[in-house]
Amino acid sequence: MKVINLVCGSFLPERTAGANRLSVVAKTLSTENIVNVIYLVKSGEVYDPSLIDERVMLNNNIKLFPVEINAFSKSNFVFRTLNEISHAYKLLRVSRGVKSDVQIVSIPFLMLLPVAMVFNWFSNSVIQILEIRDLIWRYFEFKKGMLNKFFYHILKGLCHLAIKSFDKVITVTETQKIEVEKFYTRSVTCIANGLDDDSYRKLSSLDMAVNDKTLNIVYAGSIGYPQNLSVLLDASKLAIKSGVDIKIDILGDGPEKVLLETYIKDNNITNVNFRGAVSFEVLCDFYNNAHVLYAQLRNIPSLKSAEPTKIFEYASTGKIILFGIKGDGEKLLKGFENVNLIEPDNPIVLLERIEYLAKNLPLELSIYNRDRVRSLYIRENLSKLYLNEI
């Protein structure tokens, strides 16, 4: 039995894509190993154990090491970078103090990768594995200005150098794997994203909304720059003028939430409601009453290798999916039915598709989508591939 340190930016009960994925990875690895999870929590938020999945909390082979940090502003890049360096150092210092045979570092957490490189130089006896869920060095690729271009090239070079300090690399998409293999000469394994079995079972039991007069649209997820939800608000504003009967519920939180809430008030957009962060049970209630599940990602290079967990979550419901996306996510969605793929960042195109769906109520559930997620994208099955890497 080996001892594995899993170092990450977030863990249960926080409902981030990374936390949900890594909880399943930890449970799978713990079937044959001791797993120490070292993760960040905000000051004063050392989590109530009752909120953590019993299969993690009551598992004698899983030990949790929360590292408290102070809240900090993410608006200033320099200040944010310095804070993230400090937080990454704290995570890895705790990990180094807990003896292990294998260490798995999971990103995206911007500065965890380069800081891990420094620790790797002094950890020759520990097998170092990097899990890449996002190509973090591409975050600055779309930014304009000489200073941002300078930061991008520095960050890219630093990340490439840091990745070379790991013994193995695991990616989530094939595009990420191909990108890493351009400069990394050792083993790269792709283990696809997916959905945990418990969430799948609950989502796949939902019904189609019965109200056939108003088209109910739900968005669930982060509210930030990559999602660009201003497109949905602009389409909603146009829908009011066009007389299209829709109701939109936006579930989640993020740095642009307050700004967008102000926008709908200033523009009297009455068909949109921000519901904030909700429990999974409440989320399922909104899904149950929805006709259409919407999402989008900006059409920028850094997001073209993304395969959002939202795709598997939406597909598990069997409901109509309306998604503006390019790249790997678009290719993935083409394997499902009941999918309306549209051009990202275009409210006119979005409104046209909403109008089409509103005229074709009632909409039917896709049993095929549910079956496809169950057979190919259940995380408990996919996570068994991690056992081969250690």
- DSSP class per residue in 154-216: HHHHHHHHHHTTSSEEEESSHHHHHHHHTT--S-EEE----B-HHHHHHHTT-------SSEE
Q: Rounded distance, CA 189 to CA 192, Å?
A: 10
What is the CATH architecture of 198-375?
A: 3-Layer(aba) Sandwich (3.40)
Give pLDDT < 70 ranges for the chain: 43-51, 71-78, 137-145, 147-148, 211
| Residue 70 dihedral angles phi and psi, to the nearest 5° | -85, 150
Sign of CA dihedral 340, 296, 231, 152: negative
Instruction: Identify which of 246, 221, 201 has the alpha carbon closest to the alpha carbon of residue 359.
Output: 246
Same fold, 3-191 and 198-375: yes
pLDDT tens for 245-278 read 999 999 998 889 999 999 999 999 999 999 998 9
Tell whether domain 3-191 is in CATH 2.60.130.10.
Answer: no
Helices (H), the chain: 17-29, 54-57, 77-97, 112-120, 146-163, 174-181, 197-203, 230-242, 257-266, 280-288, 309-317, 328-333, 347-358, 367-376, 379-382
Domain map of the chain by residue range? 3-191, 198-375
User: CB–CB of 88/109 below 8 Å?
Assistant: yes
Cα–Cα distance, 243 to 377 (Å, whole number): 39
Label the pairing between strands 246-251 and 215-220. parallel
Structure tokens at 346: 């275009």
What angle (nearest 5°) sits at the alpha carbon of residue 112, between those of residues 295 and 277?
35
Could you say which DSSP state residue 390 is in? Answer: -
Tell me the pTM: 0.85
Closest alpha carbon to 231 in 321, 351, 326, 143: 351
